[in-house]
Structure 1
Amino acid sequence: MKAPAKNYLGAAIVVAAGCAAPCAWAADFSGSATLTSDYVFRGISQTQGDVAPQLGGKVAFDSGFYGAAWASTVDYGDAVGSDAEVDLVAGWNRTFAQRWNLDVNLTRFTYPGTRAPLNLDYNEVITTLTLDQRWWAMLGWSDNALASGERGIYVEVGAKFPITDEFRLETVAAHYDLDDAYGDSYSRAQLSAIYTLGSVDLRASGHWTTDSAKRIFPGVAGSRFEAAVTWNF
């Protein structure tokens, strides 16, 4: 039986709520709705290559604290039971020295409807440092990575390359240390072309993983293409 995820989220929500009361008048709301040909998370398909609708929302305050929720369909097979992922996020974001942005959050990955005794829910602390809104480095840490009951560390670097006002390229290189959880780790790369039409993003992405990802996640890792359309509101 997989070890249950520790509930750090409650403490984070209490902190965010403490700010929310005095800052409610300064709340900023945003969201997005996406239809993607394949929900790919860190190089691994979560839908076995099938289409996924996705919806997210975020409320942010002048203090830098924010809360967010995001949902997508998933397909882990009939034995698992769940066909949805719902992520809950409590975090803090701040721009400093005009060029740098720091984001620290606690993300709770949940999978409603999972059949007992399975427990796929887990927490991850994610820190992202961004320079000039173009270059970023991310570190994710969990003591229950992918609900394995063991530690996992995710490291990612990425960059945006504007071609025109509407068109840009994005690249990602990353490594997921899952030695404690699965006895192996893997690396991934991603190249995306994104075209923006008003509040709509059209995205085409290529994903690649090392062969070790195929051993950990057979059938859903390796090279794959993804196309998506996102409405930002």
Structure 2
Amino acid sequence: MNASASTPTPLLALAAPILLAVAPTAAALDFSGTATATSDYVFRGISQTRGGAAPQLGVKLASDTGLYGSLWASRVDYGATLGSDAELDLVAGWNHTFAERWNLDVNLTRFTYPGTRAPANLDYNEVITTLTLDQRWWAMLGWSENVLASGERGIYSEVGGKFPLGDAFRLEALAAYYDLDDAYGSGYSRAQLSAIYTIGNVDLRASGHWTSASAERLFPGVAGSRVEAAVSWNF
């Protein structure tokens, strides 16, 4: 993460249009969430906990109009200098299925890190668009004009797929590239392979993460090959 200062966009200004649109359809709201314990919080191939375990919790409120808002929190470890030991993501988005097979999700995500010591500011915004086919294949694009709080543009692109091997077991694979040229002079590529077993509302997941050598130069000690195990309860 980059600790350069930046001026955060007011969250209420971002969320107000979503709340106003959802309010008239309060009877059609759907609440859901996920509680997770993971052996290593890995975000886009980079460990956010220096290889340590993390509890995580996410909640989502969605309307039948397709509009939704969500909160997601996790432990992080960026060292004593920055101070923050938590990440809180605030999301306002829209999700729509069309032509029966396609799904489009567009959201604005605000990544925040409560407790970060001034003058450092790690918070930043990203617009994320995901197109999914048959609930199986996906392509995602993330765009930020202040990527990792650097004050520069960053673009994240990802493609992936799910491969069912029975009613309860599946594999998921993805490949991605994070364009950080403007911020750090170099980007990096990554790949991930996950095995997921579902028992009722519980998912058991084991994931292998791989990043290119450029990621290890950009994020020494927290990039490279690693294995993560997690258990999630979906409610």
Q: Give the TM-score normalised by the residue count of structure 2.
A: 0.97
The question of whether the paired residues in 2 share the 8 Å contact of 1:149 and 1:181 is answered with: yes
Does structure 1 conserve the Cα–Cα contact (< 8 Å) formed by 2:85 and 2:115? yes
Shift of residue 12, structure 1, vs aligned partner: 3.2
Give the partner amino acid of 1:194.
I
2-structure distance, mates of 1:94, 1:127: 12
Q: How does 1:190-209 map to 2 (within 5 A)?
A: 190-209=192-211
Whether the 8 Å contact between 1:89 and 1:106 is mirrored in structure 2 is yes
**1:44 is aligned to 2:46:** yes
Residue 73 (structure 1) aligns with = 75
Is the aligned partner of 1:175 residue 2:177? yes
**Helix, strand or coil at the partner of 1:14:** helix
SS of 2:88 mapped into structure 1:
strand
Q: Is the 8 A contact 2:191 2:209 kept in 1?
A: yes
Match of 1:119 in 2: 121
Query: 1:187 corresponds to which residue?
Result: 189
Q: Give, in angstroms, the shift of residue 3 of structure 1.
A: 3.9
Post-superposition shift, 1:21? 1.4
Gaps of 5+ in 1: none
**In the alignment, structure 1 residue 4 sits paired with structure 2 residue 6:** yes
Task: Tell me the percent identity.
Answer: 74
SS at match of 1:139: strand
Structure 1 residue aligned with 2:15: 13
Paired letter, 2:48: Q
Distance 1:53 1:160 in 2: 25
**CA shift digits 1:13-51 (9 cap, x unpaired):** 111111121011100000000000000000000000000
Q: Which residue identity lines up with residue 150 of structure 1 in the other structure?
A: E
> Deviating runs (4+, > 6 A) in structure 1?
none
- 2:159 is equivalent to residue 157 of structure 1: yes
Whether the 8 Å CA contact 1:206–1:223 is kept in 2: the answer is yes
State the secondary structure of the residue aligned to 1:193. strand
Paired positions, count: 233
Q: Any idea what SS the aligned residue of 1:202 has?
A: strand
Q: Residues 187 and 8 from structure 1, CA distance in 2 versus in 1: closer, same or farther, beyond 3 angstroms?
A: farther
TM-score, normalising length: structure 1: 0.98
Give secondary structure in 1 for the equivalent of 2:65: coil
State the secondary structure of the residue aligned to 2:31.
Answer: strand
Per the alignment, residue 225 of structure 1 pairs with 227
Aligned-pair Cα RMSD in Å: 1.0
Shift in Å, 1:10: 3.6
